[in-house]
Amino acid sequence: MKPEIFFEEQIRLWPLAQTNYQLLSSSVRIKEISLANSQIKVQYNPTRIVSSGAKVDTSSIRERPCFLCEKNRPAEQISLPIDDKFSLLCNPYPIFPEHFTIVSGEHELQQIRPYFSNLLAITCQLPAYTVFYNGPQSGASAPDHLHLQACTHGYMPIDNEWRGLLQKQNQPIVTAEDAALYAFNGYLRNGFIIKATRPEEASRLFNLLYSGLQSSPLIKGETEPMMNIIAYYQEGGWIIVIIPRKKHRPRQYFAEGEEHFLSSPGAADIGGVFITTSEKDYEKTTAELLCEIYNQVCLNDDEICLLAEHIKSKS
């Protein structure tokens, strides 16, 4: 079954999902803000409080049932196998016109390195979609259950901006046969791009990058280096955008009073769809506030250059 047909069938069967997708198209407010080399879609989406406000500390996770495990899912939620490990689910609290969660059949920790080849295969199976990954401390609201996500391609501004980021680079920092690893800056969400036509070479460069992130003092992370990944399969090859993170949530998330701002950036926010769950936060989101938040959670230009040199030295 094609993903778009699966999506239509799920919406037909599940009233909650049907209602929330209708609200997304009719009631969710969006304003666009220009930042350095990018556009940001600020989305006022109250249903996303489930994710943005999720408690992801160990004790809170231990005390709640895992909503991604098959035994705990709503009876109306159906699944579509996508490879021998992962299945496609319709996300009932959408950011995008089509929003999928791609879940492991086993309850295991969120981690990407052992399953990067699965990400490549799934991306290849979903060429009309953007596939993305939130690290366990980089926006994942279920860090206890391995999952990816997929969404309507072209909705995130980065879907169209990565080409410009790539064109700005004079040369890759590491090359391989039919593959290259680039670093980019000047974007407020600085990072790396792997461009490859062979999956084994894409994996080799990702392993090199992962090891470099692991050994760098700039990048933190308890179970893996903090990062978001946004991936595409286009014209017979892969584009993998990796954004290292130095912080999970900005200080405003923990502030009290007027300074409090409920932002827990994941791949969607990093990709240019910035989620707000209250009208108050939506109204006070400005270019200045976005810059402050992105500067807290992502690497600045000097830091990404240092990290690129560190990774190059390991190759």
Using an 8 Å Cβ cutoff, are 118 and 45 in contact?
Answer: no
Q: For 282-303, how does the pLDDT look when each residue is reduced to its tens digit (9 = 90+)?
A: 999 999 999 999 999 999 999 9
- Residue 174 pLDDT exceeds 90: yes
Residue 84, exposed/middle/buried by CB under 10 A (0-12, 13-18, 19+)?
exposed
- Residue 57 pLDDT exceeds 70: no
Tell me what pLDDT residue 51 has.
59
- Residue 47 pLDDT exceeds 90: no
Alpha carbon dihedral 262, 267, 271, 277, in 10-degree steps, equals -30
d(CA 303, CA 213): 12
Band of pLDDT at residue 29, cut at 50, 70 and 90: very high
Q: What is the architecture, at CATH level 2, of domain 3-162+188-314?
A: 2-Layer Sandwich (3.30)
Tell me what pLDDT residue 36 has.
82
Tell me what pLDDT residue 54 has.
53
Tell me what pLDDT residue 52 has.
54
- Residue 117 pLDDT exceeds 80: yes
Higher pLDDT, 61 or 65: 65
Of 226, 277, 247, give the one whose Cα is nearest residue 110. Answer: 226
Calculate helix-pair angle for 15-26, 3-13, nearest 10 degrees.
110
For the segment 66-84, the average pLDDT, to the nearest whole number, is 95
d(CA 315, CA 303): 19
Higher pLDDT, 64 or 191: 191
- What distance, in Å, lies between the first and last C-alpha atoms of the chain? 42
Mean pLDDT of the chain: 93
Among 95-104, 168-177, 275-284, which stretch is predicted with the lowest mean pLDDT? 168-177
Q: For 206-228, how does the pLDDT look when each residue is reduced to its tens digit (9 = 90+)?
A: 999 999 999 999 998 888 999 99
